[in-house]
Amino acid sequence: MAEGGNDPTGYDMAPETRLEVVEAAVAALPGQLPAGPFQPTWESLRANYRVPSWFVEAKFGLFMHWGLYSVPAHHNEWYEKHMYAADRQWHVEHFGPQDKFGYKDFIPLFTAEKFDADAWAALFKQSGARFVIPTAQHHDNFALWDSAVTPFNARQMGPKRDLIGELARAVRAQGLKFGVSNHGIENFQFINPPPDLAADLQAKHADLYDPKWADFYHVADRSDAACIKFLTDWYARNVELIEKYHPDMLWFDNGVDQRYLDPLKLRIAAYYYNRAKAWGQDVSLSTKKAAYAPDNNNLHTIGSILDFEKIGIRSPAGIRPGVWQVDEPIGSTWGYTSDMRVSGPGPLIAKLADTVSKNGTLLLNLSPKADGTIPAEQQATLREIGAWLAVNGEAIYGTLNWTIFGEDHRRGSDTTGSNLRFTVKGDILYVILLGEWPSEEISIDSLPLGDEAGAPTKVTLLGTTKALDFTQDSQGLHVQLPPTAPSPYGATLKISGLKLNAPTWTASGNPE
């Protein structure tokens, strides 16, 4: 069993508070929960939650980091944290001293003047993605939607547009599912200036210590009372996102991992799921590590689809039954930076095939610019992925893992060769050929004669109709291939007539 990402939680930038403070915040929440079967308890979530069927089928979605940090486009999307610490001097040299130009001063520069939601959505459709999750709010506390809860939002400031609302309409018009991510729980203690800078700003009542911006930065007051106010505001923002945009997925970052936040997390889950029930909409939370696993083991997650951050770092190394996803950046940073390196389609298609072969879903992160454009290199990569999926998507969408996820065919200690990744749909075994194209023949060692999967009756290459010649012996299945690859990014064998394993997804999302 590949668990992945079940490491110690630490604070993960959650508010460093106590259970009694969280309980006080929950007690201060207005009104009753919407009517419905969900109550804010683990038992209720376990009894009533089901993974949405659309997610089981999707296998490929798009994420994005877009916000104020896209303006300086330096270091990464944590620019707000860095500009008061490690990148303090860089900021001074490029924008001026922090008492004259703080993070708040990027708001009017975040204009999104070239943002075209319909063009974005058309590109997302071309990519072959089935769902889209923009960052509605990152750690910096700036909301990209039209908010009545916080004045620090894109409708009232900066672009003067409801960016999330425009995206929701355009994405759904393309027939795609639409969700939102909220990283806002991590804002309360995100900025930690060194003592000399803090003293200077405090003496001048500037920026981080300007009373007009106190609720934006959350630096000047981190008392229990301030934390209660912050937590109730976080809840209210999530309720607003739910009510205004009916998201198909509500995605939280690491900050919600702490156990003392459970009463607040349970409350928002019950609210969200009851509202979706009333709308007749299949939705899900998606969270990391043990955020919604009260025994601190993500094999026992309740009421949430488990998300891992970055392939090969925290994601499962092998097959993980149930349902899960992994978020992966298209380039070297999550948010746009001027010197970011963008991955080409080949490596990302390989990561998609590898993830799906292990029963996961790939959530590929995009990095738009502050002016509202998606850089050309990222667009080209998305279109190439979409073109590949137009031919090979049958081996991706709606599939599940086989009994093994793949074979790596290396030449001795050489790193060249072919990588095989397996997926299953009904009685069809798909073999995705990645890496170096085999010379005229590929041997699939995992299908020897007499194997319980049986004997194939037909082998074809997706995108063609001509049956391929093959033989099967004790060493495996040997398939005759065309001399050249139909795509530089990988091709797929479709093998019919086998007896394959049953679906491994579960209603709870957990391995069972």
In a domain, 368, yes or no: no
In a domain, 463, yes or no: yes
Note whether 492 and 343 are same-domain residues: no
Confidence at residue 3, expressed as pLDDT on a 0 to 100 scale: 54
CA distance 423 to 394: 10
The last residue of one of the domains, among 306, 341, 363, is 363
Total number of domains in the chain: 2
Report the amino acid identity of residue 135.
Answer: T
pTM, rounded to two decimals: 0.96
Note whether 307 and 416 are same-domain residues: no
Note whether 414 and 359 are same-domain residues: no
CA distance 311 to 306: 14
The last residue of one of the domains, among 363, 384, 419, is 363
Would strands 60-64 and 131-137 be described as parallel, antiparallel, or unpaired? parallel
Confidence at residue 11, expressed as pLDDT on a 0 to 100 scale: 53
Helix (H) or strand (E) segment spanning residue 79: helix 79-83
Note whether 127 and 248 are same-domain residues: yes
Structure tokens given for 284 = 């899900």
Confidence at residue 438, expressed as pLDDT on a 0 to 100 scale: 87
In a domain, 501, yes or no: no
Q: Rounded to 5 degrees, what are φ and ψ at 428?
A: -105, 130
Note whether 317 and 189 are same-domain residues: yes
Q: Point out which residues pair with 481 in neighbouring strands.
A: none
In a domain, 204, yes or no: no
| CA distance to 163, 259, 459, per residue, from 297 (Å) | 36, 12, 42
Mean pLDDT by 10 residues, the chain (512 residues): 48 88 96 95 98 98 98 98 98 98 98 98 98 98 98 98 98 98 97 98 98 98 98 98 98 95 98 98 97 96 97 92 98 97 96 98 98 98 98 98 92 68 97 91 94 94 95 96 92 97 96 92
Structure tokens given for 138 = 């990152």
Q: Give the contacts of 142 (CB within 8 A, at least 6 positions apart).
A: 67, 68, 107, 110, 152, 153, 154, 158, 216
Note whether 29 and 135 are same-domain residues: yes
In a domain, 216, yes or no: no
CA distance 184 to 136: 9
In a domain, 214, yes or no: no
In a domain, 159, yes or no: yes
Note whether 302 and 415 are same-domain residues: no
Would strands 476-480 and 441-444 be described as parallel, antiparallel, or unpaired? antiparallel
Q: Give the contacts of 243 (CB within 8 A, at least 6 positions apart).
A: 275
Nearest to 95, CA basis, from 104, 157, 217: 104
In a domain, 345, yes or no: yes
The last residue of one of the domains, among 335, 363, 391, is 363
Helix, strand, coil percentages in the chain from 3-state DSSP, rounded to 5: 35, 20, 45
Confidence at residue 440, expressed as pLDDT on a 0 to 100 scale: 85
- 329: domain CATH number? 3.20.20.80
Confidence at residue 8, expressed as pLDDT on a 0 to 100 scale: 44
Note whether 341 and 444 are same-domain residues: no
Q: Give the contacts of 270 (CB within 8 A, at least 6 positions apart).
A: 33, 36, 38, 39, 40, 44, 45
CB 446 within 8 A of CB 493: no
504's torsion region: left (phi>0), alpha (psi -120 to 50) or beta? alpha
Give the angle 432-434-438 at the CA atoms, nearest 5°.
100
Confidence at residue 20, expressed as pLDDT on a 0 to 100 scale: 98
- 447: domain CATH number? 2.60.40.1180
Domain that holds residue 478: 406-496
Note whether 428 and 301 are same-domain residues: no
Note whether 46 and 132 are same-domain residues: yes
Note whether 187 and 317 are same-domain residues: yes
Q: Which residues of 279-298 are buried (b: 16+ CB within 10 A; e: fewer)?
A: eeeebbbbbbbbbbbbeeeb
Note whether 117 and 177 are same-domain residues: yes
